[in-house]
Amino acid sequence: MASMLIWAAGLPAADFIIPLLASEQLTALRMGLAALALLPVWALMEGPAALTRVNWIKGIFVGGLIGLGAWLLIIGQARGGAVTAAVISATLPVVGMAIEILLDGRRVTRGLVLGIILSLAGGLAALDWAGGLSLGLGAVFCFGSVVTFTVGSRLTVTSFPALSPIGRTTLTVTGAAIATGTVALIQVALGSPLPDFTPWGPAEYGALLAFSVGSFAISQLLWIMSVERLGIGLSALHINAAPFYVMVLLFLLGHGWSWVQAGAACLVALGVLIAQGIIGPHSFAKKTS
């Protein structure tokens, strides 16, 4: 929940910053700032030697998938709008559960299916549909982002079993920074213009930091800790509450309150609890037996 709350807080910043930079440069800058924020923390917590005992080649490969997912989401949101990005991101639990069923032999239960349905319904109900839904190419990019980010997050946990959450997260985020930074530099070498930060002010730099250090570095650390404990499928259910979190943040900034979105968030929470077996017929049977 904390991961998704912080991630959702970066969505308004994303809308503000996306038009200012090329998508490849913005992705590389976002990954780079996130890595710079996490590397000192990792070195302080586990010692500088921890950075030399890891497989950086594998870290760059896994991080490259996460960086690709971040880039695809920026492309999709730029073409299809924030509503399209939010709706397609609601497929993350389905993709996560499918991966666990295919690769981990996860058993499909009625509670799991019901939880996914309720969570998806709550996520869709929490969206602001006033602006309409623009699908098409933007939706394709957003769904590609969901798939690559889900696979990258799972590999972050499974490929580095000896590392701590801070180690796994920092390694793959730094790998993402290296991979996306390489792509951005190649594009510049091929003739793409360098970014112009001359007209930027405190608002632009603040939005960039919120979108990178907050909405990615901190959120990704909490997300990987969640995936390690709950699995990719159950962790992903919480993303459907992100539109409600955005509504709360906007309400604190002076916007209106929506009881429909508040009720939708409760539906998401109910779906998560049922999918985890915390409530429902199965949990009741265990308590009474």
Q: Which pLDDT does position 122 carry in this prediction?
A: 73
pLDDT for residue 71 is more than 90? yes
Tell me which DSSP letter residue 277 carries.
T
- Distance CA(94)–CA(49), nearest Å, equals 39
- The b/e string for 243-280 (b: 16+ C-beta within 10 A; e otherwise) is bbbbbbeeeeeeeeebeebeebbebbbbbbbbbbbeeb
What per-residue confidence (pLDDT) applies to 284?
A: 42
CB distance 17 to 207 below 8 Å: yes
Calculate mean pLDDT across residues 244-254: 71
**What pLDDT is recorded for position 94?**
75
Is the pLDDT reported for residue 280 higher than 70? no
The tokens describing 200, both together, are 């930027």
| Winning range, highest mean pLDDT, from 15-29, 111-125, 236-250 | 15-29
Report yes or no: 11 and 82 within 8 Å, Cβ to Cβ. yes
Q: What per-residue confidence (pLDDT) applies to 276?
A: 63
CB 77 within 8 Å of CB 138? yes
Instruction: Confirm if 92 and 227 have CB atoms less than 8 A apart.
Output: no
The answer to whether 242 touches 4, Cβ cutoff 8 Å, is yes
pLDDT in tens, 97-113: 778 788 777 777 787 78
For residue 105, the model assigns a pLDDT of 75
Task: State pLDDT tens for residues 81-99.
Answer: 665 666 677 677 777 777 8
Q: Determine the average pLDDT of the residues in 36-48.
A: 95
- Mean predicted lDDT score pLDDT of the chain: 82
Give the pLDDT band (50/70/90) at residue 286: very low
